[in-house]
Amino acid sequence: MAIYLDHAATTPLRPELIEGYLAQLQVLGNPSSVHGAGQRARMAVEDARDQVAKAVDCHRSEVLFTSGGTESNNLAIKGLYLAAKAQDSERNVVITAGTEHHAGIDPVEWLETSEGAEAVWLPVSPTGVIDLAWLDTYLSKNAQRVALISLMWVNNETGLITPVSKVTEIANRYEIPVHSDAVAAFGHIPISFKDSGLKTMAISGHKFGAPVGVGAVIVARDAKVAVTSHGGGQERGIRSGTLSSPLAYALGKAAALAAEELPEIRNRVSEFAQDISRGILEIAPDAIFTRGEEPGYEGIIHFTFPGCSGDSLLYLLDAAGVCVSTGSACRAGVAQPSHVLMAMGRTEDQARGSLRISLGQSTTRADVDALLAAFPMAYAGAHRAGLPGN
């Protein structure tokens, strides 16, 4: 059986919710129907809404179910922008960073080409830290033109944590809404939507033990969000479409478990991560820990290996039965260096020499031992092969 260390891509379905999820699949009824069958399905949805709200620390009415993180980011980013632009045609600037996931970057670029937006890219340090002083200065001169700011809470490739409350503190001085892609954050670090100052936030179930295909966009009650998904008017009219009560049940249960178990899981993951980092540096002393000393989620361990191809490392580890990645699963198979590392100022060769190991609630000591046992041979082989074209 393969050793799975790619939890930032997706996590195993939590065994605690499987029985209830299968039972919900057999419940007949559209949650929008008024008859008894429909209301039984609706009850499962609303119970799940309560669980998600408690887990992310928001009001239950702020939880809107979606198909996952990509849809949530699109609804929020496009909705905030179009609402701001409708209120004031001069507000066409979207501030974001080149280190964002493509689910955050691509909607911004679509707004540029289709809706007259201007993307302003925050400067980031070589470890990926956004320049808050630059943001403050920019807003002091251009706030009247800014429609929104969109920044992810935890970087899915490097694990770097964005100081969300500091961003919103600056933005709120100018009444600029802030959206955060919290897909890599929720279930892994403590988060509170209520205390964050955010107007919208995205989460995705399969990153914390729910099935693929369900997530939520958290929309503050006072947020102005234009409707971009039209239909039956479900989910406050912001996200139309028949709700899946089984998927909502699974999201709620997984969110509740993730929040409840977070301290214990994070402590265990942190211990494993330290052992992995120490072991890798003993084998490859010239390896560079990508986020340096900056605050990050411990379960994402990202290194670059000078003169070594990350793809070669991945394939050789996979041949040894260990599943890791070189970055975002959404870009896997694309023959391009990581856009995240390139935005951090890495060269193409440096960006191609990266490896991401990501841990989760199902990671065991045996998984860590298997990785460290397989790594020396994989590294030796990848180092001999070098970089393509060199």
What CATH number does residue 350 fall under?
3.90.1150.10
Same domain, 213 and 168: yes
DSSP state of 123: P
Catalytic residue among 58, 308, 323, 330: 330
- Tell me the per-residue pLDDT of 64-119, one tens digit each, with 9 for 90 and over: 999 999 999 999 999 999 999 999 999 999 999 999 999 999 999 999 999 999 99
Q: What is the mean pLDDT of the chain?
A: 95
Q: Which of 241, 257, 273 represents a domain boundary (last residue)?
A: 257
Q: Residue 282 sits in which domain range?
A: 3-10+262-385
Same domain, 52 and 137: yes
Between 112-116, 244-248, 380-384, the lowest mean confidence (pLDDT) is in 380-384
> What's the pTM?
0.95
Q: Assess if residue 175 is contained within a domain.
A: yes
323 labelled catalytic: no
- Tell me the per-residue pLDDT of 159-188, one tens digit each, with 9 for 90 and over: 999 999 999 999 999 999 999 999 999 999
Sheet holding 63-66, edge to edge: 63-66, 215-219, 200-204, 178-181, 146-150, 93-97, 118-122
Q: What pLDDT, on a 0 to 100 scale, did the predictor assign at position 329?
A: 52
Q: Assess if residue 390 is contained within a domain.
A: no
Q: Which of 257, 279, 297 represents a domain boundary (last residue)?
A: 257
Q: 132-142 and 164-172 are packed helices; what angle lies between their axes, rounded to 10 degrees?
A: 20
Q: Which of 232, 257, 282 represents a domain boundary (last residue)?
A: 257
The CA distance from 271 to 159, in Å, is: 16
Contact indicator for 171, 177 with CB cutoff of 8 Å = yes
Contact indicator for 14, 211 with CB cutoff of 8 Å = no
Contact indicator for 200, 76 with CB cutoff of 8 Å = yes
Same domain, 211 and 326: no
Q: How many domains does the chain have?
A: 2
- Tell me the per-residue pLDDT of 221-239, one tens digit each, with 9 for 90 and over: 999 999 999 999 999 999 9
Contact indicator for 326, 314 with CB cutoff of 8 Å = yes
Same domain, 188 and 267: no
Same domain, 116 and 38: yes
Same domain, 115 and 170: yes
Q: What pLDDT, on a 0 to 100 scale, did the predictor assign at position 337?
A: 86
